[in-house]
Amino acid sequence: MKVARPAIVLLPPPPAFDVEAFLDRTGLGRTLVELKKNQVLFSQGDAADAVFYIQKGSIKLTIVSQRGKEATVALLNAGNFVGESCVAAAEHIRMVTATGLTRCTLMRIERLEMVRVLHEEHAFADLFVTFLLARNVRIQEDLVDQLFNSSEKRLARILLLLAQFGKEGKPETVVPKISQEVLAEMIGTTRSRVNFFMNRFRKLGFIKYSGGLGGLEVHSSLLNVVLHD
Amino acid sequence: MKVARPAIVLLPPPPAFDVEAFLDRTGLGRTLVELKKNQVLFSQGDAADAVFYIQKGSIKLTIVSQRGKEATVALLNAGNFVGESCVAAAEHIRMVTATGLTRCTLMRIERLEMVRVLHEEHAFADLFVTFLLARNVRIQEDLVDQLFNSSEKRLARILLLLAQFGKEGKPETVVPKISQEVLAEMIGTTRSRVNFFMNRFRKLGFIKYSGGLGGLEVHSSLLNVVLHD
DNA sequence: GAAAATCTGTTCAATTTGAGACATTGGCAA
DNA sequence: TTGCCAATGTCTCAAATTGAACAGATTTTC
């Protein structure tokens, strides 16, 4: 597989509305989907007829170009929707591939059901719109990051975001080890480049490899890289 | 001003629902805003308390980085919303600057009014969600474009999109002349680079300068640049 | 535990891009 | 017409990035 070029989108904080209880109550999320680590939920090109709500775990969205390069477009936490773009029009096709970054539990909501409930439940509709807007902002930030910053800064930014991503407990630590290859996919550069910067950051004490299982400590001083002129 | 780095987002086709009549009927869009060419609707950092609906003309969204670089994040046609992100939470701040690319007529809708009507009118809510999803897809495409393609291909893509942008009448023509400077802002590179590629495209017959008033004909053969391995 | 499959550290030449400098050109206004 | 000014066409040089290759380290699998 060719080297990839992509960027990442880490998504918004959990909603202030108990979605799971709601989905449960309305029977909307009756269909539970379990996903193993690295298992594919749906692939680019598949027919799109359902939306998913992440109950547990995180999901990676990727896109493959014609030339076989792969880009990671977003990482989604629990509390986010996946495959939401099919809500707009029927007969849509998946534009991305969704893969479990970890083991996941998802609620599957059929498109038509989703539309119906969005009409009937204000709170749920609000939540969905809020999610869409947040996602919008995030993708736009990633785009701007690509436009303004060098790959070194992009890497630093992603590492900082990742450090917060798994913040259920220990701070300043990227929990699931992400390979340099994937990091390269996320910021849109090559692995050798990522490796180069990672070592640089390490020498400068901004990050530290800890624990044999690929733990990575991200020190907040890494912010210097992003903020520096 | 420093050289800029940005990318563009050309937005979706007009809705299948008469928004203007609707806004008119409900009194929602009672407040009309006229915008001259190059006039600023709102600036990055302003308080955000209203959404706008473009009735006529087109709007440019830009972001300025700390170092003074400028990026064009989107071009919006009639039939699109502007400043929609404030719908989510009160007390928001504009993250972009919206400027009239041409003379514009906009309908101003106060945030609270917008929220209220979204709850009460399904058709309008559907339209809005559809708009958000389309915008999402577009920004993501731009992000992916940045990740996968070289600046030459990005320029080709933008030119092709622009050729469709003003497709009210003559096909294959970028109507309002856009300076190489702005093009550079849109694809995230420098003007001299844009100039270089423009001349190359011209020599290869992919585009043609026509009419003294900066008309630019974009030939569909320019697709070769985008599709070529 | 050994083989197989992944990651990582490193190097390097070939390209691509960034950032400016400068000369021209075309349109507009006094 | 003349002069101003923004938009263009060119060029150059340094820095950033790509792409590929390889060996060593680490993990996974059987």
Q: Where are the domains of chain A?
A: 19-145, 149-227
Sheet containing strand A70-76, strands side by side: A40-42, A97-100, A59-64, A70-76
- Structure confidence at residue B53 as a pLDDT band (50, 70, 90): very high
pLDDT band at residue A90 using 50, 70 and 90 as cut-offs? low
DSSP line for A39-107: -EEE-TTSEE-EEEEEEES-EEEEEE-TTS-EEEEEEE-TT-EESGGGGTSSSEE--SEEEESS-EEEE
Tell me which chain A residues have a C-beta less than 8 angstroms from the C-beta of B126.
Answer: 115
- Share the mean pLDDT of chain B: 82
Closest nucleotide (CA of A2 to C1')?
A: D19
Residue of B nearest to A127 (CA): B88
Average pLDDT in the B12-41 region? Answer: 79
Angle of CA points B9, B220, A44, to nearest 5°: 55
User: Mean pLDDT across the stretch A16-23?
Assistant: 80
Query: Number of helices and strands (H, E) in chain B?
Result: 7, 13
pLDDT at residue B212 tops 80 = no
pLDDT band at A129 (very low <50, low <70, confident <90, very high): very high
Mean pLDDT of chain A: 82
Q: Which bases of strand C have any atom within 7 Å of the beta carbon of a protein residue?
A: 6-12, 16-21, 26-27
pLDDT at residue B11 above 70?
no
The answer to whether the CB atoms of A147 and B6 lie below 8 A apart is: yes
Instruction: Return d(Cα B13, Cα A196) in angstroms, integer.
Output: 44
Sign of the dihedral defined by the CA atoms of residues A147, A195, A185, A160, in that order: negative
Phi, then psi, of B34 in degrees rounded to 5: -100, 140
Q: Do domains B19-145 and B149-227 have the same CATH topology?
A: no
Q: What is the pLDDT of residue A5?
A: 34
pLDDT per position as a tens digit, A28-87: 777 899 888 888 999 999 999 999 999 988 888 989 887 778 888 888 888 999 999 999
Domain B149-227 of CATH type 1.10.3720.10: no
The pLDDT confidence band at residue A135, using thresholds 50, 70 and 90, is very high
B69 and B92 in contact (C-beta within 8 Å)?
no
Residue A65 has its nearest CB partner, among B119, B142, B148, at: B148
Q: Answer yes or no: are the C-beta atoms of B94 and B46 closer than 8 Å.
A: yes
pLDDT tens per residue, range A175-192: 567 888 888 988 889 999
Distance of CA A46 to the CA centre of its chain: 20
pLDDT tens column, B103-148: 889 999 999 999 999 988 888 999 999 999 999 999 999 998 888 8
Does the pLDDT value for residue B4 go beyond 50?
no
What is the pLDDT, as a whole number, of residue A220? 79
Question: Which residues, at least 6 apart from B208, have a Cβ–Cβ distance to it below 8 Å?
Answer: B202, B216, B217, B219
Distance between CA B124 and CA B84 in Å, rounded?
A: 14
Which of chain D's bases lie under 7 Å from a protein CB? 6-12, 16-21, 26-27
Residue B154 tokens, joined: 């990005």
Domain with residues A19-145, CATH architecture? Sandwich (2.60)
Of the pLDDT bands very low, low, confident and very high (cuts 50, 70, 90), residue A216 is confident
A180/A190 Cα distance (integer angstroms): 9
% of chain B residues with pLDDT over 90: 29
Q: Are A91 and A130 in contact (CB under 8 A)?
A: no
Look at residue B210 and tell me whether its pLDDT is greater than 80.
no
Residues of A in contact with B142 (CB under 8 A): 143
Q: Please report residues of B whose CB lies closer than 8 A to that of A85.
A: 133, 136-137
Model confidence at B98: pLDDT above 90: yes
Closest nucleotide to A197, Cα to C1'? C9
Q: Is the model's pLDDT at A169 over the cut of 80?
A: no
At B33 the three-state DSSP class reads: strand
Question: Does the pLDDT value for residue A154 go beyond 80?
Answer: yes
Instruction: Say what the pLDDT of residue A26 is.
Output: 83
**B41 vs A92, residue with greater confidence:** B41
> B100-127 burial, b if ≥16 CB within 10 A, otherwise e?
bbbebebbbbebebbbebbeeeeebbbb
The answer to whether A201 and A208 are in contact (CB under 8 A) is no
pLDDT band for position B150 (cuts 50, 70, 90): confident
